[in-house]
Chains A and B, each alone.
Chain A
């Protein structure tokens, strides 16, 4: 089974020294819009929901969420537009884009260093049940690509993939390493190649 990987979502989990109110990200995302040139459509505020999509920076090609799904806050990057290249190239592009957004938030003056993202763990999902049903077959089909990209992301450090078959949920693979990485480190590992691919 060969899979044409699209609609890739990745989530990096937040590590907060003190809780940052969700609503703080509304102002930050609006400032990003002001600094951009028509890339972003809007900011959606779901701060009233429990374990919901949080605050969403909506764009045509990909959304950026401060996402609280599953009870864990993180930066969720949802690629919507089709990407060219091989599956591994697409995974690298999305990971890199997510990490760049993580770094941008970590450096955000308004947060004054309160927010960091863990580089030890990433959740990769395919937001298309037709393309990637949540089955063992999908896992087997994608495993080589995910392992190859994770190897590069963690610069050869050992890592583990975990997957739970559940026909109702989107296909997701959690990738965890046992070494410490920060966002800058991961970008250094994967970033330059992804940007040029």
Chain B
């Protein structure tokens, strides 16, 4: 057999040496891991920092709806704790500020075909992801990306993740200035920087050209910069309103204003100084408390600012801080064609509807930005290649991915739009409704994510289908709403900032596990993720489309003139919305209609088995479920108190709801547990926390710690403002969800034991 060239040899001339070296080193690390010469945890973080992520079932087990199957995979080598080497994984590909070229799209197409399942997925942070990738293929994959100047470095792991930016930057009618060069410079500067290599968790950075629009989502990021100018001595100076400590995750934090005007030359050194402070003082052991948001919450923003300022003074000057500033005013993009208005051109069927939702008039006359809507963020290899061709035909290389999982073509001459529309329609991407209620955003959820509880993509697909069918009939107020879905509380689908958000949870209904989604209402996508929504209640997964209809119809019926959805929810109150959804919380018995006990697009009887269970044990006591239900009611009352402007009482009520949930669990083991809160917490700690029965596989003891922290807060008699109250209520909701899970697992293990016992003794 003749030996052909490897990708390494074939692309040697095209791969930048520094990228090539990094990939060579990673390939060596793979070899060392195979030989057992690198610790599995060290290798796991190593591969994560190369963008190679785990994927569902990579522990070698999968529940098929009836039983757990052991997958036929070699267990000889692992690529991390409980992660088999041969199991398919996910590859995240960094696309700084979403900027991508036709050549890069073509390579993504090739890679998706050869190493994945033919689909490239745009994420909610402007990355691309490929799924079902074998780790052995990753060096070749990385080299092929490197040859077109794309890296996967620090796409995952405890590092600075993809730096995102408004996709309209540079063409936006309302921008202060183009933030693209700053996003690009910070991405380059921080990637691989020695000061960003020792974090306890990830750091996400975003840039926005204005305050009022949502595109940059600055306030939900660890660091965020909003373009500002000021006049000093008659000269305009550029800078940023700079924010720190935002983040979604299980409990969302809004970023705090770090500096109302950070001059442009101070941007990179400030980021570097923040990185140093975070690396030095950020939590390292407890991953659940390791983001910058927790460090700032602990220190207070003033102390944090002081520490950063001190650190900044210690930094040695680096020319990279300001070198890029010389060219920030130069236009980095050039249009392919002259800008000509649309008038008089023949338009295909569907064009007007598409134009109404998918086209944005640029600040530059005659040019528009056109959104290509990718359903669920997915594009096939053929579609990517066709999009590359379309780009070359209409715009050359001015393409960006968006946080709404779409692709934006900038600098389209308006006169070309009819032909542009025909071209994208021909490849099945001519759907209208970008940035509307139809354009549902979703994280991967149970499709591929190890942490997924419910099928976010399945639900999003169903909602897209149903809402798309009646798109033209939708009231304009409803059409402008955003829906975002996460498969679990971790918020990769960004449910907190949607008008209508959902995150997946599990509920027990008469002994069966049933996929549910927690309904989150009133989040604000605008104003750079200006408000976070609040939980209303859990709805069975299969009834969520009805819930969306009920909520949107209620809004149309009861809204006051031009009332925004957030204001509407605030005015009518959560109780009214909860009452509206009350009927939808019920489902038929399993024997009447088992479809409610499965998830969207997945006929398997619903189970959490694929997340890994078995930590919790105990007896099934119906009183426990009753008590858990009581805790939810109490939490809801806490929300009503908060709505009524009584945060102090709300905090107390939320804390007591957590105590009630803890009591429910304790009742499993000690039915005579008293009503005394101290005794309940003591027993809960002894029986569930110390034993790690109340332990989440990935979050550890985080949820129990919410209870302990709340107790501390109450006992110290601290005053609670609205922000603290909102946070504590969110934590209470997560604690109660975790209590349900713990109880369900305990119940499941008892039921499984009975089943196994019966099977083992058929004659008994």
Complex contact A51–B461 (CB within 8 A) = no
Q: Kindly state whether residue B14 has any CB partner on chain A within 8 Å.
A: no
Q: Kindly state whether residue A170 has any CB partner on chain B within 8 Å.
A: yes
Q: Name A1-23 residues within 8 Å CB distance of B.
A: 1-2, 4, 7, 23
Q: Kindly state whether residue B173 has any CB partner on chain A within 8 Å.
A: no
Q: Kindly state whether residue A39 has any CB partner on chain B within 8 Å.
A: yes
Complex contact B64–A53 (CB within 8 A) = no
Interface size class of B (residues with CB under 8 A): 35 or more
Supposing A50-B428, A52-B380 touch, asked if A30 and B72 sit within 8 A by C-beta, the answer is: no
A60 is contacted by which of B4, B66, B73, B382 (Cβ under 8 Å)?
B73
CB distance from B448 to the nearest CB of A (A): 8
Supposing A44-B117, A127-B113 touch, asked if A49 and B2 sit within 8 A by C-beta, the answer is: no
A37 to B61, CA, bound (A): 11
Complex contact B64–A33 (CB within 8 A) = yes
Segment of A128-136, A144-152, A188-196 engaged in the interface with chain B: A128-136
A7 to B110, CA, bound (A): 14
Complex contact A49–B69 (CB within 8 A) = no
Complex contact B65–A168 (CB within 8 A) = no
CB distance from B381 to the nearest CB of A (A): 8
For A58, what are the chain B residues with a Cβ–Cβ distance below 8 Å?
88, 117, 132
Complex contact B113–A2 (CB within 8 A) = no
A65 to B119, CA, bound (A): 13
For A170, what are the chain B residues with a Cβ–Cβ distance below 8 Å?
113-114
Supposing A30-B64, A48-B375, A50-B429 touch, asked if A60 and B380 sit within 8 A by C-beta, the answer is: no
Complex contact A47–B461 (CB within 8 A) = yes
A51 to B603, CA, bound (A): 24
Q: Kindly state whether residue B632 has any CB partner on chain A within 8 Å.
A: no
B66 is contacted by which of A34, A39, A56, A69 (Cβ under 8 Å)?
A34
CB distance from B539 to the nearest CB of A (A): 22
Q: Kindly state whether residue A38 has any CB partner on chain B within 8 Å.
A: yes
Supposing A30-B603, A60-B86 touch, asked if A44 and B447 sit within 8 A by C-beta, the answer is: yes
For A39, what are the chain B residues with a Cβ–Cβ distance below 8 Å?
72
Complex contact B72–A49 (CB within 8 A) = no
CB distance from B87 to the nearest CB of A (A): 8
Complex contact A129–B114 (CB within 8 A) = yes
A23 to B461, CA, bound (A): 12
Complex contact A53–B447 (CB within 8 A) = no
Supposing A42-B62, A168-B106 touch, asked if A130 and B4 sit within 8 A by C-beta, the answer is: yes
A123 to B110, CA, bound (A): 18
For A41, what are the chain B residues with a Cβ–Cβ distance below 8 Å?
57, 62, 71, 87-88, 132
Q: Kindly state whether residue B33 has any CB partner on chain A within 8 Å.
A: no
A1 to B1, CA, bound (A): 10
For A69, what are the chain B residues with a Cβ–Cβ distance below 8 Å?
118, 380, 382
CB distance from B486 to the nearest CB of A (A): 18
Q: Kindly state whether residue A63 has any CB partner on chain B within 8 Å.
A: yes
A119 to B5, CA, bound (A): 37
Q: Name B459-517 residues within 8 Å CB distance of A.
A: 461, 464-465
User: What is the 8 Å Cβ interface bit string for chain A, positions 167-189, against chain B (1 contact, 0 not)?
Assistant: 01110000000000000000000
Q: Kindly state whether residue A120 has any CB partner on chain B within 8 Å.
A: no
User: What is the 8 Å Cβ interface bit string for chain B, positions 597-636, against chain A (1 contact, 0 not)?
Assistant: 0000111100000000000000000000000000000000
Q: Name A27-71 residues within 8 Å CB distance of B.
A: 27, 30, 33-34, 36-39, 41-53, 56, 58, 60, 63, 65, 69-70
A151 to B6, CA, bound (A): 33
Supposing A30-B64, A34-B66, A60-B86 touch, asked if A48 and B376 sit within 8 A by C-beta, the answer is: yes
Complex contact A168–B385 (CB within 8 A) = yes
CB distance from B598 to the nearest CB of A (A): 10
User: What is the 8 Å Cβ interface bit string for chain B, positions 121-159, against chain A (1 contact, 0 not)?
Assistant: 000000000011010000010000000000000000000
For B134, what are the chain A residues with a Cβ–Cβ distance below 8 Å?
80
Complex contact A2–B428 (CB within 8 A) = no
Residue in A closest to B600 when the chains form the complex, CB atoms: A45
Complex contact A44–B132 (CB within 8 A) = yes
Complex contact B132–A129 (CB within 8 A) = no
A108 to B82, CA, bound (A): 36
Q: Kindly state whether residue A26 has any CB partner on chain B within 8 Å.
A: yes
A26 is contacted by which of B6, B62, B69, B602 (Cβ under 8 Å)?
B602
Complex contact A51–B118 (CB within 8 A) = no
Supposing A30-B65, A34-B65, A37-B69 touch, asked if A52 and B378 sit within 8 A by C-beta, the answer is: yes
Supposing A34-B66, A130-B10 touch, asked if A53 and B119 sit within 8 A by C-beta, the answer is: yes
A161 to B688, CA, bound (A): 68
Residue in B closest to A67 when the chains form the complex, CB atoms: B118
A53 to B121, CA, bound (A): 13
For A43, what are the chain B residues with a Cβ–Cβ distance below 8 Å?
602
For A34, what are the chain B residues with a Cβ–Cβ distance below 8 Å?
64-66
A38 to B59, CA, bound (A): 13
Q: Kindly state whether residue B7 has any CB partner on chain A within 8 Å.
A: yes
Q: Kindly state whether residue B70 has any CB partner on chain A within 8 Å.
A: yes
A68 to B378, CA, bound (A): 15
A56 to B59, CA, bound (A): 21
Complex contact B66–A45 (CB within 8 A) = no
Complex contact B7–A130 (CB within 8 A) = yes
For B6, what are the chain A residues with a Cβ–Cβ distance below 8 Å?
130
Residue in A closest to B446 when the chains form the complex, CB atoms: A42
CB distance from B590 to the nearest CB of A (A): 18
A56 to B88, CA, bound (A): 14
A38 is contacted by which of B72, B114, B376 (Cβ under 8 Å)?
B72
Q: Kindly state whether residue B427 has any CB partner on chain A within 8 Å.
A: yes
User: What is the 8 Å Cβ interface bit string for chain A, positions 110-150, against chain B (1 contact, 0 not)?
Assistant: 00000000000000000111110000000000000000000
User: What is the 8 Å Cβ interface bit string for chain B, positions 4-32, against chain A (1 contact, 0 not)?
Assistant: 11110010000000000000000000000
For B140, what are the chain A residues with a Cβ–Cβ distance below 8 Å?
130
A46 is contacted by which of B88, B378, B465, B604 (Cβ under 8 Å)?
B378
Q: Kindly state whether residue B79 has any CB partner on chain A within 8 Å.
A: no
A173 to B450, CA, bound (A): 39
For A70, what are the chain B residues with a Cβ–Cβ distance below 8 Å?
382
CB distance from B120 to the nearest CB of A (A): 11
Q: Please name 28 pairs of A and B residues whose Cβ atoms are closer than 8 Å in the assembled complex, sorted by A.
A: A4-B2, A4-B4, A7-B114, A23-B601, A26-B603, A30-B64, A30-B604, A34-B66, A41-B71, A44-B117, A45-B458, A48-B461, A48-B464, A49-B378, A49-B380, A49-B383, A49-B428, A51-B382, A52-B119, A52-B378, A56-B117, A58-B88, A65-B117, A65-B118, A69-B380, A127-B113, A129-B114, A131-B4
**Which 4 pairs from chain A and chain B are nearest by CB?**
A50-B428, A53-B118, A52-B380, A48-B375
B interface with A by C-beta (< 8 Å): 1-2, 4-7, 10, 56-57, 62, 64-66, 69-73, 86-88, 106, 110, 113-114, 117-119, 131-132, 134, 140, 375-376, 378, 380, 382-383, 385, 427-429, 447, 457-458, 461, 464-465, 601-604
Known: A7-B114, A38-B72, A58-B88. 9 other contacts (CB 8 A): A4-B1, A30-B602, A42-B57, A48-B378, A49-B119, A51-B380, A60-B73, A130-B140, A170-B114
A interface with B by C-beta (< 8 Å): 1-2, 4, 7, 23, 26-27, 30, 33-34, 36-39, 41-53, 56, 58, 60, 63, 65, 69-70, 80, 127-131, 168-170
